[in-house]
Chains A and B, each alone.
Chain A
Amino acid sequence: MLRNYFKIAWRNLIKRKVFTTINILGLAIGFSSSVLIYLFISHHLSFDTFHEDSDKIYRVTTEEDMGQIHRLATAPPGFAKVFREEFDYAHKVAKIVRQTNLIIDVPKANGTAKFKQDLSFVEADFFKIFNFPLVDGSHNVDISHPNTALITAQKALELFGQKDVVGETFVLNNDKTIKITGVLKDVPKTTFLNTEIFISFQNVKAIGNFMASESWGGITSNLQCFISLKPKQDIAAIETALLELPKKYRPRAKNKHIYRLQPLSDIHFNTDYGGLSPTFLIIFGVIGFFLISIASINFINISTAQAFYRSKEIGVRKVLGSLKQHLFWQFLVETFLISVLAAIIGIVVTALVLPAFNNLFELELSLKSLFEFKFIAFFSVLLGIVSLLAGSYPGILIARIAPVLALKGKLNAHDTGGAFTRKVLVVTQFSIAIILIVATLVISKQITYAVNGDLGFEKASVVMFDIPPKTKQTTLNTLKARLKNTTGIQDVSSCFGSPGAAENNWGITVKYNNRPENEAFSTTLKAGDIEYLKLFKIPVIAGRSFFNDDKTKEILVNEKFVKNLGLTSVEDVLGKSLQLQGQNTTIVGVFKNFHNQKFTKEIEATIITPHHKWYREIAVKLNYANTKTTLAQIDDIWHETFPNDIFEYRFLDERVAEQYETEQQYLALSKLFSGLAIFIGCLGIYGLILFFINQRIKEIGVRKILGSSIKSILTLFSIDFIKLILIAGVIATPIAWYVMEQWLQGYVYRTQLSWRPFAIAILSTLLLTLVTISYQTIKAAMANPIKSLRTE
């Protein structure tokens, strides 16, 4: 029986090629999207699950109370030692300090090769907590002595040209020679850890005494502390015990620390500490569900419509003794066959587009996961559910058809699946499509608003590059002077960080006007020279800019700073003293607020003061002249000044845009998936219009003979669909409005929702549908009516 079902199903598919193609294409897109989304979600869910007892691994975080709570994934340098020695909770405790852009010299046959690398300084126990084994699979790392390092096989190949580099050496920061004591297996992509070179913690002094100390005086986000707990620990009890530590080790500190333990599994998904928002994955999942639903709806609509064609077969089968369940199962088998074909095509398509998908979203998804049991289980369930959902409704309808009517070909719309049901389904499809289009438009508008809008500073044609550590002031001044004299360069400024560079933020506490206490709010320090305001075109609205002299100790504050002090007039702060980092300065001017951070964050109190010790970057404003030549000249000057370093630059507008990486991903996704949604929807409409025309071909003939124009026939057929899309628009608008309003709530500075994206979404959907309908309808309307009216 089953074989017979498959046979007839196959022949039916071959016979109705157009409908089969529409069904399979739509479902294949649905499956392919589902697979991609599955891979994407499982990629994110698999972060750091490969460590032994990963549920016992925690990261220490610090909550700093400075008016508002600041959460930082770090602990004071002294924390690890105390936790190790004074408590009995942990198996192992290990510190890691991450550092970016360090210079590494690798000996080569002809001299040395220089590289700029991100690396980590780690305590040996780090490799006892985490599962990052050596290439031989063991965990016997040797990194407790000074000047030792571990490197991944991949990185070894990149730097040394070979994988076996045990015993090789490199020079760190033009200073210490480091010996490689082990080669690690490549670190999986699915981990919080993003360095491939590990240097003994004994060497951490090279980048700062503070991080090498056992100090409790402050925190730095470069340093992290990991703990693997002994079995059966009560986290809440540990955190309570940790409340005592600040009292003991930093009794006089003004900003209160609270230490917490963050589970390893939380690291990837906690937005407080720079993790990915889980909502992102949920939205992704929902979109996947939407797409497969739209495809299934197509299937249902086309199948129910097709029952009309198949009425004779169904009638005959009933007469020959088929029971309802026979027909129902026959249809389900047919659906299953289509689903399987679509699934195969979908998976092939996935395999083909995966590289592009990875590229688009900067992912490293691998096809290997397609062979995992988890995936096979997921996909089988998906296939089963889709077949059942898409097949059962048409199956029931078909089984219900009365044989006498079917044999006579006298089925009406009701028998072949309620027209109402079909309308509801079409409206659902297009509501989803319209919501996705609106989302695309709104996200795109917000990104444009944030990236191209007025941020309060100039970011066009500004090039940023690092100042090597420990650069002398005279060297820096000479460099700046030489750059300034280069054609094509308008302004040069040295600073701690440009505006709009949230990663170079320095939060401090200040004491205003000799008040008894530090101010309760956190202040962003943007050290910069006299050119800073000029180069970035940040206007001074009260007082004056400072003189280019470190010793005068002059400082500028922004409007928000004045507001946070509780003052109304910007003039009030002029001439007052401000204590920061143990120094006394005088406020000489107030500058206009600018957006230092993403639009999701409120503008913070910010101060600018010149201090050459704090300069980390140089900003160069280019003229309209030939950028390429100018950059080459900068490169030359740089190398003459710092022969032992590597020159890397970045444009400021790119840096600003990078803040919106997640949003850009959202946008790319919603573009892709709204495109697919509308495509599948139109496929469905195409199928339906083919069916309707076939069903009403006689009516068209009669109308033509009676003198109807092509236009009026076109209207006759499209008016129903236009109505449905308008209804879909009416349903989609409030939903899309609500969802996008919620999304925009995440931004302190946001674009306003207007009617425009909604109008564009509905109109473009309408237009696409009309184009879809027109071709077949016009073809039918232009055909000779004699053909359609000829009876058997």
Chain B
Amino acid sequence: MILQLKDLFKWVNSGGQRIFLLNDIDFTVNEGEFISIMGPSGSGKTTLLNVIGMLDNFNEGEYTFLEESVHTLKEKHRAKLYKEYIGFVFQSYHLIDELTVYENIETPLLYKNYKSSERKAMVADMLDRFNIVGKKELFPSQLSGGQQQLVGIARALVSNPKLILADEPTGNLNSTQSEEIMELFKTLNRQGVTIIQVTHSESNAAYGSRTLHLKDGVIVNTH
């Protein structure tokens, strides 16, 4: 088991009313799974992903990540935890515009205090693996969407996370690029990386081993 959410609630107060963003979520993820989260707009998919990624807080319930109770941790420890084990992939890639491909991939390593020589080896490995060595000196604006997302994934993977969280990773891509990315995820999953993705597309969801349907913050069914 990699993580477990138990009786988890998240809400906001608006005009005297309590609006539930996540409503009584119970959810366990085991190592090696590839989970897709689906649901209509505003159903809480991204919120759930952010809570799992520890970028967002929740109001009630328990969250255990690799035997650690996330809800009792201080922010600093939480940051340490996700820094260590989680990689993020975004719909709009969120590469840093002022950094080159190489530097973007290198950034997470900087924050983990890897030595310069180690960083070099790890980034080179990633560039090799994704076949983008020739593009390492380019800036994000010089790449196509598919290539940018490739860099985004490489950046998420560079520090060998246990878990990849992908928020509509193919949302801004055309179908060919989309398929390539999903194939990549499938390969990664086979190599042992646990993946949770949020998606609108049934075909993308099909790459996963399990799909979670959300509606108004409630898990309506799992299959």
Contacts known (A319-B55, A407-B90); A313 close to B111, Cβ less than 8 A: no
Which stretch (A5-13, A36-44, A448-456, A526-534) binds chain B? A5-13
B202 adjacent to chain A (CB < 8 Å): no
A4 adjacent to chain B (CB < 8 Å): yes
Q: Which of A303-359 contact B (CB under 8 A)?
A: 312-313, 315-323, 326
- Please, which residue of chain B has its CB at the minimum distance from the CB of A326? B111
Contacts known (A319-B55, A404-B50); A4 close to B103, Cβ less than 8 A: yes
- Band of interface residues on A: 20 to 34
- Please, which residue of chain B has its CB at the minimum distance from the CB of A315? B94
Task: Report B-chain residues with C-beta under 8 Å of the C-beta of A322.
Answer: 111
A-B pairs with beta carbons under 8 A, tally? 54
Task: Report A-chain residues with C-beta under 8 Å of the C-beta of B83.
Answer: 320-321
A706 adjacent to chain B (CB < 8 Å): no
Bound CA span A404–B58, Å: 13
A1 adjacent to chain B (CB < 8 Å): yes
B67 adjacent to chain A (CB < 8 Å): no
Candidate in B97, B98, B111 with the most chain A CB atoms within 10 angstroms: B98
Chain A nearest CB from B109 CB (Å) reads 9
B4 adjacent to chain A (CB < 8 Å): no
B29 adjacent to chain A (CB < 8 Å): no
B185 adjacent to chain A (CB < 8 Å): no
Q: Please encode chain B, from 82 to 109, with 1 for each CB lying within 8 Å of some chain A CB and 0 for all others.
A: 1100001010001111110001001110
Task: Report A-chain residues with C-beta under 8 Å of the C-beta of B98.
Answer: 8, 11-12, 15, 313
Task: Report A-chain residues with C-beta under 8 Å of the C-beta of B112.
Answer: 321
**Cβ of A404 and Cβ of B56 under 8 Å apart?**
yes
Chain A nearest CB from B94 CB (Å) reads 5
Bound CA span A12–B99, Å: 10
A30 adjacent to chain B (CB < 8 Å): no
A403 adjacent to chain B (CB < 8 Å): yes
Candidate in B50, B88, B96, B155 with the most chain A CB atoms within 10 angstroms: B96
Task: Report A-chain residues with C-beta under 8 Å of the C-beta of B88.
Answer: 319-320
**Cβ of A4 and Cβ of B110 under 8 Å apart?**
yes
**Cβ of A320 and Cβ of B155 under 8 Å apart?**
yes
**Cβ of A313 and Cβ of B55 under 8 Å apart?**
no
Candidate in A315, A316, A320 with the most chain B CB atoms within 10 angstroms: A320
8 Å CB contact of A321 from B79, B96, B99: B79
Task: Report B-chain residues with C-beta under 8 Å of the C-beta of A317.
Answer: 96, 107, 111
Bound CA span A39–B106, Å: 47
8 Å CB contact of A313 from B76, B97, B110: B97
Task: Report B-chain residues with C-beta under 8 Å of the C-beta of A313.
Answer: 96-98
Candidate in A12, A313, A315, A319 with the most chain B CB atoms within 10 angstroms: A319
Chain B nearest CB from A73 CB (Å) reads 65
Bound CA span A11–B98, Å: 6
**Cβ of A320 and Cβ of B97 under 8 Å apart?**
no
- Please, which residue of chain B has its CB at the minimum distance from the CB of A403? B55
Task: Report B-chain residues with C-beta under 8 Å of the C-beta of A404.
Answer: 50, 55-56
- Band of interface residues on B: 20 to 34
Which secondary structure dominates chain A's binding surface?
A: helix
Chain A nearest CB from B15 CB (Å) reads 18
Contacts known (A11-B98, A315-B94, A407-B94); A321 close to B108, Cβ less than 8 A: yes
Chain A nearest CB from B102 CB (Å) reads 11
Chain B nearest CB from A65 CB (Å) reads 75
**Cβ of B108 and Cβ of A323 under 8 Å apart?**
no
Task: Report A-chain residues with C-beta under 8 Å of the C-beta of B56.
Answer: 404
Chain A nearest CB from B165 CB (Å) reads 10
Task: Report A-chain residues with C-beta under 8 Å of the C-beta of B155.
Answer: 320
Task: Report A-chain residues with C-beta under 8 Å of the C-beta of B95.
Answer: 316
**Cβ of B108 and Cβ of A320 under 8 Å apart?**
yes
Q: Please encode chain A, from 402 to 438, with 1 for each CB lying within 8 Å of some chain B CB and 0 for all others.
A: 0110010000000000000000000000000000000
Bound CA span A12–B98, Å: 7
Q: Please encode chain A, from 291 to 313, with 1 for each CB lying within 8 Å of some chain B CB and 0 for all others.
A: 00000000000000000000011
Task: Report B-chain residues with C-beta under 8 Å of the C-beta of A312.
Answer: 94
Task: Report B-chain residues with C-beta under 8 Å of the C-beta of A403.
Answer: 55
Chain B nearest CB from A306 CB (Å) reads 13
Q: Please encode chain A, from 177 to 207, with 1 for each CB lying within 8 Å of some chain B CB and 0 for all others.
A: 0000000000000000000000000000000
Bound CA span A95–B111, Å: 74
Task: Report B-chain residues with C-beta under 8 Å of the C-beta of A15.
Answer: 97-98
- Please, which residue of chain B has its CB at the minimum distance from the CB of A11? B98
**Cβ of A7 and Cβ of B97 under 8 Å apart?**
no
8 Å CB contact of B96 from A316, A323, A326, A407: A316
Bound CA span A7–B103, Å: 10
Chain A nearest CB from B34 CB (Å) reads 21
Contacts known (A4-B103, A8-B99, A403-B55); A323 close to B94, Cβ less than 8 A: no
Q: Which of B135-167 contact A (CB under 8 A)?
A: 155
**Cβ of A316 and Cβ of B94 under 8 Å apart?**
yes
Q: Please encode chain B, from 183 to 206, with 1 for each CB lying within 8 Å of some chain A CB and 0 for all others.
A: 000000000000000000000000
- Please, which residue of chain A has its CB at the minimum distance from the CB of B98? A11
Bound CA span A403–B54, Å: 10
Chain B nearest CB from A401 CB (Å) reads 12
Task: Report B-chain residues with C-beta under 8 Å of the C-beta of A8.
Answer: 96, 98-99
Task: Report A-chain residues with C-beta under 8 Å of the C-beta of B99.
Answer: 8, 11
**Cβ of A321 and Cβ of B82 under 8 Å apart?**
yes
Chain A nearest CB from B124 CB (Å) reads 17
Bound CA span A588–B133, Å: 108
**Cβ of A323 and Cβ of B103 under 8 Å apart?**
no
Task: Report A-chain residues with C-beta under 8 Å of the C-beta of B103.
Answer: 4, 7
Bound CA span A340–B25, Å: 53
Interface residue ranges, A against B (CB under 8 Å): 1, 4, 7-8, 11-12, 15, 312-313, 315-323, 326, 403-404, 407
Give me 9 A-to-B residue pairs in the complex whose CB atoms sit less than 8 angstroms apart, sorted by A's number: A319-B53, A319-B94, A320-B83, A320-B108, A320-B155, A322-B111, A323-B76, A323-B79, A323-B111
> Which 10 residue pairs spanning A and B have beta carbons closest together?
A321-B83, A321-B111, A11-B98, A320-B108, A316-B94, A404-B55, A319-B88, A322-B111, A313-B96, A404-B56
